[in-house]
């Protein structure tokens, strides 16, 4: 009798283990070459990467796995060896990532502009000002009032990093501003932050991709007040994780996706994305612009902002794939 | 707000009635992941619960208090700890479990373990202690007597099962951090709701939330009906007792 009870218990354990293992096995993704891409939210949440993924995977035996996080977390993932490739937009952080040995073969893939968006009635009267002037006006108006006037991402994302440097350029310390009543640190993604700014009738710094999507879908009524200035340039890059440091990283798989992104076809897809829906591109391809110098002032602007020692990737941070830097 | 909910409801009806492949995929995955997690948690949760419910040993109240306290474990905290654990730089990095459904199952199983332990242990405690003695005087072994008690507390076990499943399928922190919300791989209902909300696809997010609610309430309702059916046969229960 005692044996029978024990037998039942063992049987139960076996059944549970078998069914759980079978389920896990069934759910496990394809055995195709897996490339984990930690990406900034704007590239994924707008739908761009999903569109590119389908075309890329049809031609390559690689399974792209996108993890949509902020630039700060994407770099953290990569440092721990949890991503094979990062798509980010914060040149200063990217340089740090190359310098600490984790990042290799950086390649600029696209650009667009950030914009300062805010309520239609524009309480601080910043319309068409330069970014630094506009921010100064917002600080003055905010300090004289009681309402929330600026919503910051506050999440160490690429946009947040841009915002911090804009505050610095305007002569303010964003860490100090956080303490003031009119300055709200949202700690949320771009979409959520736009909604908060819209709700409070406040200003915020937005990437154009997410902003246009939210306006198109009628989720916010904020308008663009300051845009297209050199200080608001937004440059997206791909950086591959060093496989010497993290041996399990899929280095070649990651690079075949980078090569696709900078190929004519990939660049074309970036340019075309969103045109049908929004009447304009959300992201502009950067490779041809930098190579042919078609628009010298704009190309120079990108170099000034996102190049290190007059190259997108200094030679000491390159491994193989010389064709990327022809 | 009402408009969005109505629109979401209509979207939900449309998505379900047309059998939208993406919705079916993430719903099936969510049920399988959470179902497996609950089964897995029973594997170690039931023995611990029986030990706590039947035996008296020193520091028992500390162990029991620990599991009761862990009922309130914030999912993001557990998610973060498990991320560090599964990460390539972490202790089990070489197993390459991060961003896989397996990691999500293990994570949720750990999350719901306190529910299994606390609920089942309490149910066992509330069973008349004479039952075990009675079974033993009738010649049952220790294990058989324990099983007799467990059978008497089936209500508690069932409640633990449903509550665990509901907590698992409705949580976001663990699956987001160890799963990464990867399309066609680790995307489940809650992570999709969060993503679609970020994308501004409110109607779709509400539709998915409605599907999640339907799954959870259908399960709970079914279990209540089964219990009522069982409880309405006291004669049989009496027969089991004697």
The string of pLDDT tens digits covering residues B144-158 is 777 788 788 888 889
A1 and B141 within 8 Å at the Cβ level: the answer is yes
Q: Are B156 and B122 in contact (CB under 8 A)?
A: yes
pLDDT of B184 over the 60 cut: yes
Query: Mean pLDDT, to the nearest integer, of B59-78?
Result: 93
Which letter, b or e, does each residue of A156-189 get, where b requires 16 or more Cβ atoms within 10 Å of its Cβ? bbbbbbbbbebbeebebebeebeeeebbbbbebb
User: In a 3-state reduction of DSSP, which class is residue A105?
Assistant: strand
Contact B153, B82 (CB under 8 A): no
Contact yes or no for A229/A134 (Cβ under 8 A)? no
The fraction of chain B above a pLDDT of 90, given in percent, is 55
In tens, the pLDDT along A170-211 reads 999 999 999 999 999 998 889 889 999 999 999 999 999 899
| pLDDT score, position B40 | 95
pLDDT the model gives residue B137: 83
Average model confidence (pLDDT) across chain A = 92
Cβ neighbours around A271 below 10 Å, total: 16
Query: Which of chain A's residues have a Cβ under 8 Å away from the Cβ of B100?
Result: 28-29
3-state class (DSSP) for residue A185: strand
Average predicted confidence (pLDDT) for chain B:
88
Could you give the CA distance from residue B36 to residue B159 in angstroms, rounded to a whole number? 17
pTM above 0.90, yes or no: no
Closest-CA residue to A239 (of A145, A124, A166, A319): A319
For chain B, where are the alpha helices, taking DSSP H only?
2-17, 21-54, 60-70, 75-86, 101-126, 130-137, 142-152, 154-170, 173-174, 189-199, 202-231, 234-241
**Residue of A305, A310, A131, A152 lying closest to A234 (CA atoms):** A305
Residue with tokens 């070649």: A252
pLDDT at position B232 is 56
pLDDT at A112 over 80: yes
**Is the model's pLDDT at B11 over the cut of 80?**
yes
pLDDT in tens, A18-40: 988 888 888 886 667 899 999 99
Residue whose pair of structure tokens reads 């022809």 in the numeric block: A326
User: Cα(A30)–Cα(B221) distance, rounded to whole angstroms?
Assistant: 36
Asked if A1 and B140 come within 8 Å (Cβ–Cβ), the reply is yes
Q: What is the pLDDT of residue B241?
A: 54
Residue-wise pLDDT tens digits, A304-322? 999 999 999 999 999 999 9
B interface test, pick of A23, A100, A187, A218 with most B CB neighbours within 10 Å: A23
Q: Is there a contact between A197 and B180 (Cβ–Cβ < 8 Å)? A: no
> Which DSSP letter does residue A203 get?
B
CATH value at residue B171: 1.10.3720.10
Domain that holds residue B127: 2-241
CB contact (8 A) between residue B200 and residue A219: yes
Q: What is the pLDDT of residue B138?
A: 82
Contacts of B183 in chain A (CB under 8 A): 50, 65-66
Q: What is the CA radius of gyration of chain B?
A: 21
Q: How many domains does chain B have?
A: 1
How many CB atoms lie under 10 A from the CB of residue A99?
Answer: 13
pLDDT in tens, A68-97: 988 999 999 999 999 999 999 999 999 999
In chain B, the percentage of residues whose pLDDT exceeds 70 is 94
Please, what are the domains in chain A? 33-112+235-325 (3.40.190.10), 113-232 (3.40.190.10)
Whether residue A251 has pLDDT greater than 80: yes
A198 at interface of B, judged by CB pairs closer than 8 A: no
Least confident of B92-101, B106-115, B197-206: B197-206
Longest dimension (CA), chain B: 66
Q: Give the integer Cα–Cα distance in Å for B180 and B178.
A: 6
Please give the average per-residue pLDDT across B3-31, as a whole number: 89
Residue B165: pLDDT band (50, 70, 90) is: very high
Whose structure tokens read 């190049």? Answer: A307
- Confidence check: pLDDT of B9 > 80: yes
Q: What is the DSSP letter of A249?
A: S
Per-residue pLDDT tens digits for A137-162: 999 999 998 889 999 999 889 999 99
On the CB side of B222, CA atoms within 13 Å amount to 8
With CA atoms as reference, report the closest residue to A162 among A116, A198, A203: A116
Say whether residue A50 is in contact with chain B using an 8 A CB cutoff: yes
Does the structure show a pLDDT above 70 at A3?
Answer: no
Percent of chain A topping pLDDT 90 = 76
């Amino acid at each position: 009798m005692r044996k029978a009870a024990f037998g039942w218990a063992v049987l139960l354990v076996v059944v549970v283990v078998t069914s759980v293992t079978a389920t896990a096995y069934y759910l496990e993704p394809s055995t195709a070459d897996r490339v984990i891409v930690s990406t900034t939210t704007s590239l994924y949440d707008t739908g761009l990467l999903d569109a590119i993924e389908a075309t890329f995977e049809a031609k390559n035996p690689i399974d792209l796995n996108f993890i949509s996080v902020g630039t700060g977390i994407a770099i953290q993932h990569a440092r721990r060896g949890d991503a094979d490739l990062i798509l980010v937009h914060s040149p200063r952080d990217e340089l740090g990532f190359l310098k600490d040995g984790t990042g290799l073969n950086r390649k600029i893939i696209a650009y667009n502009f950030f914009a300062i968006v805010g309520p239609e009635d524009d309480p601080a009267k910043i319309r068409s000002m330069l970014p630094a002037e506009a921010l100064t006006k917002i600080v003055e108006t905010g300090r004289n009032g009681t309402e929330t006037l600026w919503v910051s991402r506050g999440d160490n994302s690429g946009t947040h990093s841009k915002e911090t440097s804009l505050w610095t350029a305007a002569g303010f310390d964003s860490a100090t501003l956080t303490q003031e009543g009119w300055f709200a640190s949202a700690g949320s993604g771009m979409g959520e932050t736009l909604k908060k700014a819209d709700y409070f009738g406040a200003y915020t710094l937005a990437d154009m991709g997410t902003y246009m999507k939210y306006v198109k879908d009628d989720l916010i009524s904020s308008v663009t007040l300051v845009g297209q200035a050199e200080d608001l340039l937004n440059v997206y890059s791909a950086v591959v994780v060093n496989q010497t440091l993290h041996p399990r990283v899929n280095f070649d798989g990651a690079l075949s996706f980078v090569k696709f992104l900078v190929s004519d076809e990939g660049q074309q897809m970036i340019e075309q994305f969103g045109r049908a829906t929004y009447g304009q591109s959300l992201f502009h391809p950067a490779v041809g612009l930098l190579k042919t110098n078609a628009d010298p002032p704009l190309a120079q602007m990108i170099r000034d902002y996102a190049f290190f020692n007059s190259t997108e990737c200094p030679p000491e941070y390159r491994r193989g794939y010389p064709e990327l830097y022809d | 707000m009402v408009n969005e909910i109505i629109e979401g409801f209509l979207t939900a009806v449309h998505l379900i009635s047309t059998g939208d492949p993406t919705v079916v995929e993430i719903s099936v995955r969510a049920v399988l992941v959470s179902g497996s997690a609950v089964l897995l948690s029973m594997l170690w949760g039931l023995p611990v619960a029986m030990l706590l419910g039947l035996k008296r040993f020193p520091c028992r109240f500390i162990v029991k208090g620990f599991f009761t306290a862990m009922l309130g474990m914030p999912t993001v905290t557990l998610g973060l700890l498990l991320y560090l654990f599964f990460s390539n730089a972490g202790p089990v990095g070489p197993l390459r479990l991060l961003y896989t459904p397996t990691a999500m199952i293990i994570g949720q199983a750990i999350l719901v373990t306190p529910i299994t332990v606390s609920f089942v242990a309490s149910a066992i405690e509330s069973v008349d202690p004479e039952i075990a003695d009675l079974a033993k005087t009738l010649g049952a072994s220790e294990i058989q007597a324990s099983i007799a008690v467990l059978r008497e507390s089936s209500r508690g076990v069932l409640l633990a099962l449903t509550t665990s499943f509901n907590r698992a399928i409705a949580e976001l922190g663990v699956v987001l951090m160890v799963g990464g919300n990867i399309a066609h791989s680790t995307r489940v209902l809650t992570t999709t709701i969060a993503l679609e909300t970020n994308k501004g696809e409110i109607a779709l997010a509400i539709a998915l939330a409605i599907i999640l609610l339907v799954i959870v309430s259908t399960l709970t309702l079914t279990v209540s009906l089964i219990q009522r059916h069982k409880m309405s046969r006291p004669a049989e229960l009496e027969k089991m007792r004697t």
